[in-house]
């Protein structure tokens, strides 16, 4: 996929490399510069025009993939065509190779990658003719995309699958849940609660991919409310309730809001408590009042749950940094979350207090035991029909 | 490269796929969880520890590449190991395949990709055991990386090479320069003036990769001063002066400051004139006073130039949107840039006014003719030695 009016040579060069690897190619033009019957004539702004081109191309690509004509898609693009590529692939299944070779600024590419599993190749140089730089990039890209495969298998339903959310600071909890579920013959898919991960999980839950959710790490709600970098958007903590599947919810990592480089922290937070998790990730300790807001939002969203739903509370801390002696340890601030949850939660949702840390074995055991119980009952009631 | 303490299984799985494609692999551990003689013991913070691990690994990888033992590097990583990977590959040559399979948030990956040509594979799911999701990702990644190559050739010096900066709105100018240079047997590498591109160009100029620069598009200075997204940092417009190579500078796209999604525009700019270039790129018209600041900065940086330097002024507009009838057309605002340049520029730097638009043939002709003249004189004077 390329704008053949401006990137025609580069797209042909890439196609030749892919064909030399023994794969076939189809060129899809998303350019605006060619006259032709299929150029949208009624677009009034560049943005509108791009949307129309993307819409048309998305349906074309969907058809080609559905018919088995293509098994991967590669874009050669600058800024505008990258935006089009993002729209075009946004609803293709997970695992279909989507490869974007682009001179667009990396931050724009990151924006696209929050919605789907695009392999990004930021070239840093413009794709402007074939030269010593672009030929290296296009050769690598062509060989790489030619080597990828896609087997359109429906997720194996021989096993039940549970979605789990984790952060570095709640990884021990996720680890133990995965192991415990595996012992019971249940598969687990872990999503990083980094905005993109939570967003993707909600999408896949809504698509019916999971049988239950252990939402250990709802920290993205904190980012949504306080304004951290990795907000997962307003649809977080909603899909499982709508799908009526069993869910356990825990306040993992609500002790922190995430930012990027220290320079990315907005001025309004000057004077707050920060911690450099890595040079690129700056954590800010949440306050009791912020946690109360997160708790209220948690309760509002969970109150709509139609399936079996349990909130699990770890009294001794919600992340690795939030434990006795830890830099973010503040049980009172955490407790504000629990109080707000209890104050606003609909009566049909259970809350269970555990006197342990979120990463303790006891916590993972309680979460998985309850989920396994729900999955078994569900299986049994289905069998009754 | 992976943290073998936490991603050992995933790294082995990936290595098996790469080996099955006929390539050899070496596992490099950047984990912190194993006891061993080479674990840095004196790091006091996680950030310090990561820096030490990165430093050690960078020198190891450099040695392996130098010895021809490896020809590509692939990372399997979460947030922290991604940051380490970024540091480790930051000084590897352009074109050495650097492949990062990562569950880190895409914005962090974008940060890493502004410094080097990393192929990014954001997984959206955590790399947590081998399951129906992670196996698809790791298979694609393994096959892709196994297919890439790196031929460590020094850039061909049979031709002179000129670096050019462009934006969508100055692409016609860049196109004409590339064509005109090609006619004269000179190669051109075009960099997108999107922050990452300008940053990379300055790095490569400093590394001696280019014989001259046609810096058509200095819009990144506007982002640096006004606070737009794609600032190239404080080293923009410096390397060519230090390298003493011929340079032409034009005020391409100084009529605009770039932001991402409309929601990313800081509140302080409310009420300003905006234009949605794409749904992901929002442009703001610069004011006369901002252009004067950009002009002053341009002059300050160019005054240090030791090689032949010429500022070229297009009186009829600096971008596609800045021409008679265009949405950003404002000759007075542009003129403030020229006045500031003339007011602060050292006398040894030439300024030439052209009564045309930056994208007119006349402009590209003037820029390339002068550069070709400099390159010829240089060749001649070298021949005299």
Mean pLDDT of chain B: 89
Subunit contact A122:B120, Cβ cutoff 8 A: yes
Lowest mean pLDDT among A2-11, B204-213, B219-228: A2-11
pLDDT at A298: 97
* A chain contacts of residue B118, beta-carbon cutoff 8 Å: 122
Question: Structure tokens of A289?
Answer: 């009042």
In which band, very low, low, confident or very high, does the pLDDT at B102 lie, cut at 50, 70 and 90?
very high
Please say if the pLDDT value at position A37 is more than 70.
Answer: no
Please say if the pLDDT value at position B156 is more than 60.
Answer: no
CA dist., res. B79 & res. B66, Å (int): 28
Cα B84 from chain centre: 20
Please say if the pLDDT value at position A286 is more than 70.
Answer: yes
- Beta strands B98-102 and A98-102 are unpaired
Strand ranges for A98-222 from DSSP E: 98-102, 119-122, 161-166, 187-192, 212-215
* B chain contacts of residue A120, beta-carbon cutoff 8 Å: 109, 113, 119-122
CA dist., res. A178 & res. A372, Å (int): 12
CA nearest neighbour of B127 among B142, B137, B119: B137
Q: Mutate which of B147, B328, B364 to disrupt the A interface (most A C-beta within 10 Å)?
A: B147
Nearest CA in chain B to A176: B128
- In the sheet that B256-259 helps form, which strands lie side by side, from edge to edge? B256-259, B281-285, B274-278
* A chain contacts of residue B172, beta-carbon cutoff 8 Å: none
Please say if the pLDDT value at position B131 is more than 90.
Answer: no
CA dist., res. A350 & res. A345, Å (int): 9
Contacting residues for A285 by C-beta, under 8 A, at least 6 apart: A255, A256, A272, A273, A274, A275, A328, A330, A333
Strand ranges for A58-192 from DSSP E: 73-77, 98-102, 119-122, 161-166, 187-192
pLDDT at B263: 84
Q: How many angstroms away from the CA of B181 is the closest CA of chain A?
A: 12
Residue with more model confidence, A272 or B48:
A272
Residue with more model confidence, A255 or A156:
A255
Mean pLDDT within B162-178: 94
Subunit contact B46:A117, Cβ cutoff 8 A: no
In which band, very low, low, confident or very high, does the pLDDT at A112 lie, cut at 50, 70 and 90?
confident
Q: Mutate which of B77, B83, B116, B136 to disrupt the A interface (most A C-beta within 10 Å)?
A: B136
Mean pLDDT within B150-178: 83
pLDDT at A17: 93
pLDDT at A174: 95
Subunit contact B168:A79, Cβ cutoff 8 A: yes
pLDDT at A287: 97
Range with the largest mean pLDDT of A29-38, A250-259, B158-167, B373-382: A250-259
Nearest CA in chain A to B162: A131
pLDDT in tens, B20-53: 999 999 999 888 764 433 444 566 677 788 888 8
Please say if the pLDDT value at position B151 is more than 80.
Answer: no
In which band, very low, low, confident or very high, does the pLDDT at A330 lie, cut at 50, 70 and 90?
very high
In which band, very low, low, confident or very high, does the pLDDT at A91 lie, cut at 50, 70 and 90?
confident
Cα B53 from chain centre: 26
Domain boundaries, chain B: 4-147, 161-384
Subunit contact A79:B278, Cβ cutoff 8 A: yes
Helix axes B132-147, A132-147, angle to 10 degrees: 140
Residue with more model confidence, A160 or B128:
A160
Given a contact cutoff of 8 angstroms between Cβ atoms, the answer to whether A242 and A306 are in contact is yes
CA dist., res. A219 & res. A224, Å (int): 9
CA dist., res. A93 & res. B326, Å (int): 41
Residue with more model confidence, B48 or A344:
A344
pLDDT at B212: 97
Question: Structure tokens of A153?
Answer: 């298998």
pLDDT at B318: 98
Mean pLDDT of chain A: 89
pLDDT in tens, A163-174: 999 998 999 999
Nearest CA in chain B to A154: B132
* A chain contacts of residue B191, beta-carbon cutoff 8 Å: 124-126
Please say if the pLDDT value at position A384 is more than 50.
Answer: no
Look up the ipTM and state it. Answer: 0.78
pLDDT in tens, B179-204: 999 999 999 999 999 998 999 899 88
Mean pLDDT within B143-152: 82
CA dist., res. B15 & res. B24, Å (int): 8
Q: Note the CATH number of domain B4-147.
A: 3.40.50.12020
Question: Structure tokens of B168?
Answer: 């969508």
Lowest mean pLDDT among A33-47, B120-134, B212-226, B231-245: A33-47
Residue with more model confidence, B154 or B17:
B17
pLDDT at B91: 82
Lowest mean pLDDT among A203-207, B98-102, B219-223: A203-207
Given a contact cutoff of 8 angstroms between Cβ atoms, the answer to whether B335 and B342 are in contact is no
Q: What is the DSSP letter of A114?
A: T
Range with the largest mean pLDDT of A200-214, A266-280, A326-340: A326-340
CA dist., res. B26 & res. B73, Å (int): 9
Mean pLDDT within A216-234: 92
CA dist., res. B112 & res. B118, Å (int): 8
Question: Structure tokens of A53?
Answer: 């081109």
Please say if the pLDDT value at position A130 is more than 70.
Answer: yes
* A chain contacts of residue B175, beta-carbon cutoff 8 Å: 128
Question: Structure tokens of A344?
Answer: 């606003």
Subunit contact A113:B108, Cβ cutoff 8 A: no
Q: Out of B47, B97, B111, whose CB is closest to A140? A: B97
Q: Mutate which of B92, B128, B138, B200 to disrupt the A interface (most A C-beta within 10 Å)?
A: B128
pLDDT at A180: 96
pLDDT in tens, B198-211: 998 998 899 888 99
pLDDT in tens, B231-283: 888 999 999 999 999 999 999 999 999 998 888 898 899 999 999 988 888 99
Contacting residues for B172 by C-beta, under 8 A, at least 6 apart: B320, B359
CA dist., res. B292 & res. B313, Å (int): 14
CA dist., res. A381 & res. B21, Å (int): 47
Provide the number of CB pairs (under 8 Å) joining chain A to chain B.
282
* B chain contacts of residue A278, beta-carbon cutoff 8 Å: 46-47, 50, 79-80, 83
CA dist., res. B13 & res. B10, Å (int): 5
Q: Note the CATH number of domain A161-384.
A: 3.40.50.12030
Q: Out of A114, A143, A155, whose CB is closest to B149? A: A143
Question: Structure tokens of B54?
Answer: 């990165």
* A chain contacts of residue B280, beta-carbon cutoff 8 Å: 79, 83, 86, 108, 111-112
Mean pLDDT within B106-135: 86
Please say if the pLDDT value at position A83 is more than 70.
Answer: yes
Q: How many angstroms away from the CA of B206 is the closest CA of chain A?
A: 16
Mean pLDDT within B168-188: 94
Q: What is the DSSP letter of B153?
A: P
Q: How many angstroms away from the CA of B343 is the closest CA of chain A?
A: 33
* A chain contacts of residue B193, beta-carbon cutoff 8 Å: none
Lowest mean pLDDT among A92-106, A212-226, B31-45, B133-147: B31-45
């Amino acid at each position: 996929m390329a704008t053949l009016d401006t990137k025609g040579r580069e797209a042909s060069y890439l196609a030749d490399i892919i064909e030399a690897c023994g794969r076939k190619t189809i060129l899809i033009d998303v350019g605006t510069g060619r006259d032709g019957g299929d150029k949208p004539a009624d677009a009034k702004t560049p943005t509108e025009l791009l949307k129309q081109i993307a819409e048309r191309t998305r349906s074309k690509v969907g058809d080609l993939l559905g018919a088995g004509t293509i098994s991967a898609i590669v874009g050669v693009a600058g800024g505008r065509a990258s935006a089009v590529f993002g729209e075009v692939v946004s609803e293709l299944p997970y695992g279909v190779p989507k490869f974007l070779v682009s001179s667009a600024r990396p931050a724009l590419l990151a924006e696209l990658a929050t919605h789907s599993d695009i392999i990004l190749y930021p070239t840093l140089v413009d794709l402007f003719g074939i030269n010593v730089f672009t030929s290296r990039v296009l050769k690598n890209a062509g060989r790489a995309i030619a080597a990828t495969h896609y087997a359109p298998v429906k997720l194996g339903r021989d096993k039940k699958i549970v979605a789990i959310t984790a952060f570095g600071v709640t990884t021990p909890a996720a680890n133990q849940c995965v192991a415990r579920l595996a012992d019971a013959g249940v598969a687990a898919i872990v999503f990083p609660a980094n905005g993109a991960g939570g967003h993707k999980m909600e999408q896949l839950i809504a698509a019916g991919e999971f049988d239950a959710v252990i939402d250990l790490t709802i920290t993205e709600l904190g980012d949504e409310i306080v304004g951290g970098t990795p907000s997962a958007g307003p649809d977080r903590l909603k899909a499982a309730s709508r799908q009526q599947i069993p869910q356990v919810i825990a306040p993992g990592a609500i002790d922190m809001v995430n930012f990027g480089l220290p320079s990315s922290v907005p001025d309004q937070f000057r004077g707050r408590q920060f911690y450099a998790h890595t040079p690129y990730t700056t954590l800010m300790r949440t306050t009791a009042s912020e946690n109360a807001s997160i708790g209220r939002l948690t309760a509002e969203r969970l109150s709509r749950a139609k399936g079996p739903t349990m909130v699990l509370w770890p009294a001794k801390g919600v992340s690795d940094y939030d434990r006795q002696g830890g830099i973010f340890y503040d049980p009172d601030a955490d407790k504000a979350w629990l109080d707000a949850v209890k104050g606003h939660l609909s009566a049909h949702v259970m809350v269970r207090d555990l006197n342990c840390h979120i990463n303790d074995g006891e916590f993972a055991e309680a979460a998985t035991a309850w989920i396994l119980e729900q999955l078994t009952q569900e299986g049994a009631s289905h069998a009754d029909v």
